[in-house]
């Protein structure tokens, strides 16, 4: 969740509640978010470095979420793990 800030980009509200689900990154229509996978600690990132290495919006790209992208859902075999757990 984000909080509105006058004359500035929104800020993350209650960052300590983040569960690293990546949903905010998926739903950002302009690939402007990057969720660091280290969920146990707050991590600072450098936006220019994220752009340079292609991480900004990379989760959306990898799962094929968004306009003119090909979904990778059919190749996801996570369900196999769930079948084995029964």
pLDDT tens digit sequence for 30-46: 888 888 877 666 777 78
In sequence order, what are the beta bridge partners of 11? 3
For 67, phi and psi rounded to 5 degrees?
-60, 130
Domain hosting 9: range is 2-85
Q: What is the pLDDT of residue 52?
A: 92
Q: What is the pLDDT of residue 86?
A: 67
Residue pair 1/14 in contact (Cβ under 8 Å)? The answer is yes
- Number of Cβ atoms within 10 Å of the Cβ of 25: 20
By percentage, how much of the chain surpasses pLDDT 90?
1
Q: What is the pLDDT of residue 39?
A: 62
Residue range 21-26: average pLDDT? 86
- Report the number of distinct structural domains present in the chain: 1
């Amino acid at each position: 969740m984000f909080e509105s800030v006058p004359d500035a980009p929104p800020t993350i509200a209650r960052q300590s509640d983040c569960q690293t689900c990546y949903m905010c990154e998926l739903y950002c229509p302009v690939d402007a978010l990057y969720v660091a996978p280290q969920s146990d600690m707050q991590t600072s990132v450098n936006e220019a470095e994220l752009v340079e290495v292609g991480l900004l919006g990379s989760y959306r790209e990898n799962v094929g979420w968004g306009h003119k992208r090909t979904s990778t859902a059919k190749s996801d075999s996570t369900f196999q793990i769930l079948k084995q757990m029964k």
